[in-house]
Amino acid sequence: MRWLALILCLWMTPALAVEPDEVLADPVLEQRARDISKGLRCLVCRNEHIDASDADLARDLRLLVRERLVAGDSDGEVVAYIVDRYGEYVLLNPPAQGSTLILWLAGPAMLLLAGGGAAVYLRKRRPEAAQAGLSEAEKAELERIINS
């Protein structure tokens, strides 16, 4: 029963971050605001979207998103406005272009380098006797053991 209560608490925390005075009266605009907010990073909490954060800056960003939507901006214009003010770091999933392309390619490149390094290490670690095979004396001993 305690696990269920813990899971429910963890599941509901993102819903509790958006305060009642922030919610827009128009449910369509509110849903758009929620969708946009889930793609924006809280600059205080790091890898958490602004809807899930209780930080003051996250609240300011949520209010800014709603303000821009009420002003008539499209979703793309709202995101562009916030990126212009805070930089691409505010995006939880930045586009793979320009400077972020290096970040997107760095992970797979590091994985390939590590795999190559591990292969070289394991290949050099093998004993020379295993590469050369058995000597005649070892073959005779092996035959004797198998036949007895």
C-alpha distances in Å from residue 124, one per residue of 116, 119, 127: 12, 9, 8
pLDDT bucket at 14, cuts 50 / 70 / 90: very low
- Return the percentage of the chain with pLDDT > 70, whole number: 80
Does the domain at residues 11-90 carry the CATH identifier 1.10.8.640? yes
Q: Is the pLDDT of residue 77 over 90?
A: yes
pLDDT in tens, 82-137: 999 988 888 888 777 777 778 778 889 999 999 999 988 888 876 654 556 778 88
Q: Is the pLDDT of residue 9 over 60?
A: no
User: Which pLDDT does position 116 carry in this prediction?
Assistant: 92
Q: Is the pLDDT of residue 29 over 90?
A: no
pLDDT bucket at 13, cuts 50 / 70 / 90: very low
Domain ranges of the chain: 11-90, 99-147
